[in-house]
Amino acid sequence: MRRVSHRQTTARGLAILLALAAAAAPALAEPRRSAVEDCAACHGLDGIARDTEVPHLAGQNERYLFNQMMAFRTGKRVHKEMRYMARHMSVEEIAALAAYYAALPPR
């Protein structure tokens, strides 16, 4: 029977852990489908709003989108519907939505 050193066991365990984390990372970075659909009701699934009173989000700066959502969430920026939406999302969801809309091609 072959002996396996502590170093080999640790290296194998770390490799498995990294592989699992890498596989899970894309799922963690994506917003909930229902959150995207909620935003899309006004801002469009493609980030292009159909109403002239609603801003386009496609291609917008990710940090800007995140900061604006956090401002709605904390009440620093006032808009009844946006405050409601932002308060019902986790910070991780807000970050994922900001990344989602920032990655879309602008019009």
pLDDT tens digits in sequence order for the chain, 107 residues long: 566 555 554 556 545 544 544 544 444 456 677 888 999 999 999 999 999 999 999 999 999 999 999 999 999 999 999 999 999 999 999 999 999 999 999 98
Q: Where are the domains of the chain?
A: 31-103
* Rg of the chain (C-alpha set): 20
Q: CATH says 31-103 is which class?
A: mainly alpha
Closest among 70, 36, 43 to 57, alpha carbons compared: 43
Q: How far is CA 43 from the centre of its chain?
A: 16
Dist. CA 67–CA 82, nearest whole Å: 13
